Chain A
C-alpha cells in the first residue's frame, strides 16, 4: 500500500455505504440494549448508561461524518442526486437539532397543589444544597451545586467534598442509585426525646403489631383495631378511657412502661417490660410488649437494591462535622447546634421560570360512570391573565411551553395536584425541518426516477434484478 494514497483510502472508507450499514446496525443495537435497561431499571438509568453514553454519541458523530463524506464523494452533484442529497442533509439537520436540544434544552416538571402559586420547575438533573438559619424563618444559602453522583461514583469511590463553613467540609462519601428507605426507631441519648413502644395483639381471629411513638410535638398517638384501641402518651390519662382501650405512659423506670387497661370487665393498672404479656379482656386477645425505649428517635435507613421500583429512591451518604448521615432525594437533613439549624438537601435542580403562575382551578373529565380520566385541564393565572392549559393545548411564555401532563389525586379520587411539563426546545425547528427534508428525499428517491437514480455503475452481477431503478 502506498503511503500517499492512505488519506484517499481513508476518505473512501468514511464515505462508504459499508460504514453506513455498520453505523445503522450499531445505532439499532445500542438502542435495543437501552430498551432492556429501561425495562429492568428505569428510564433515567437507561438514559444515563445507554442513550446518552459515549458510544451513542460516537455513532451519531460517525453518522454525521459518513453522511457529509458521501455527499462530498458524489461531487459534482447532478440532478439525479437531488433525492439522495435531501435525504441525507435532512438527517444531518436532525442530528444538529437533537444536539441543540441536548445541550440547551429544558425539560422540567412543575407541580402545583390546588390553588397555589409556583414559579419553580424541577429539572431531571440533581443538586446538593446547604442552608442555615438562626430563627427558622430566614435561611441563608451556603451551598448549591449541580452534581451527577452516578457518574462521580462510577468513576471512583472517592466521592466529593464541598467547602460549607470554616473548619468543616461537607463530604459525599457514598451513593446508592436505587435504595429502599425504612424508618427505624432507635434509642436516643437525648432526654428531650419522647418514648416509643412496639406491641403485638394476638387472638384466635387476628394478629397485629405496631409501633407507637410520641414527642413534644405529638404528645399522644393512638392505633385503632376494630373495637379496641391502644394509646401511648407522654402523660398519664386525664380523661376517662373508652371501653376497650389500653393506655401507656412512661414512668421513672427506663425499662418499664406504665399502663391503664380498660375492658368490659373493668379497669386495671400496672407496668410492663419487654416480653411481658397481659390478657386484655377484649374477647380472647393478648397484648405483648415487644419493644420499649424511654427516649427514642426515628431514623431513616437506606438499603441498596438492585432494581428500582416506584417507591425506591436514591440515597446519599454525607459527612458533616465529622458525623455520617444518609439522606434520600428531597428528604432534607436537619442538623441542630446551639444557636442555629443547618439543612442539607439532595434533590432535583430547580429552575426559576421568572414569573409567578397561580393555579386557579383544575378539572378532570371522567368517562361516564367510571373514575377513568378522559381529559384534564388547568386554569392558571399569569400577570393577571387567565389561561386554560389542557391536553394538547399548551401555554407559551418567555420561550417556555407549559403542557398539561398529568395530575395527582387522593384515595377518594379527588384531584390534589396538577402537574405541568415545562419545556424549552431550541432544536425543534431543525428537527422538524430536517424531518421534512428527509421525508421529501425518501419519496423522491423511491418514486421519482429522474431525481432519485443513485448510481449508474452498480451491480453488474445483478442486472436482471429490478432494472427499473438502475
Chain B
C-alpha cells in the first residue's frame, strides 16, 4: 500500500475542474476551415478576373498578420499565440476577396490596417470588436476612394482582359511602369444595371458584354463557388444555416416584391440579385462572423434577414452599386439588441426571457 501512497505521484497536475475530456474543436481549426473554404471562390475569381484577386489575397493577408503582430507585441502579449488562431489571416483573406482585383497596393493597405488596428484591436482584439473588421476596412476605402473601388476588370473572354501575372503584379504594385487600370476597367453588372435608365433588361443584356447568363459574366460562377463552400461549412457545423438563409431569403423576397419585369426601371430579377455582386460571399463568409453578429439561432436569422433587406435597398435605391458592407455594419450595430430579444426558451421555462433584465 505504501508504494502508491505517496501524494507526489499525482500532484503535478493537482486538482482540476471538470470536464476533463475535451473536444477536438479549436478556434484555429474553425478559422482554417473557413479560409480553406474560400479557395473555390478565389479560384473562380482568378479565372474570371485575372491574377489580381490572388495577389490581393496574399498582400492583404500579409498586411493583416503584420498589423496583428504589431499590435499584439505593442500590448506585450505572445505574438505566436494570437497569430496561431488564424483570425487575422481570415480577415486579410476576406478583404482580399472583397476588394477589386486590381486595387492598388496602398488601397488594400489602408483597408486592412484600418480594419485590423481600429476595427479590431482598438476594441480589445478578437472577440471584442462590435463591427466586422473586414467590412469596416472595406467601407473606409469605399467612401474614401470610390473611383478605385468601383472599377473592376472586364471578366474573362472580353476584350482587354488582362490575364498575365506580371501585368497584374505591376498593376497592383506599379514599380515605375504603371499600367493604367482605367484603360481596361469596366463597371460591374450591378453598376450597369443601376445606371441604366433607358434600356429594357433584354436590351441591356444584349448591348452590354458584361452580362452573360443570369447574373453577368463570371459573377454567377464566383457566387456559385461561394455558395458551395458555404454549404460545406454548414455541413461541417462551422456555423448554422440561420444567418445565410435569412439573408438570401430576404434578398430573394425583396427582389421578387420589387421586380417590375423587364422594363428599363427594373431592379433585376431575384436570381440576378442572388448571384451577383458579393451576395454569396457576404451570406456565407461575412455575416457569419460570429463575433460581430447576433449569437442565438433566431437572432442570426433576424440578423441575416436584416442584412438581406438592406443589401437590396442599397442596391435598388442607394448610392452604391452593392451594399453588403454597409448592410453588415448597420446590422452589427443592431446585433446586441437582437440578442436581447432572441434568447431561446430555457428548459423548464414557459417562455423565453426578452429584453433587458427587469429592475425591481
The reply to whether chain A is a binding partner of chain B is no
* Residues of chain A at the chain B interface (Cβ within 8 Å): none
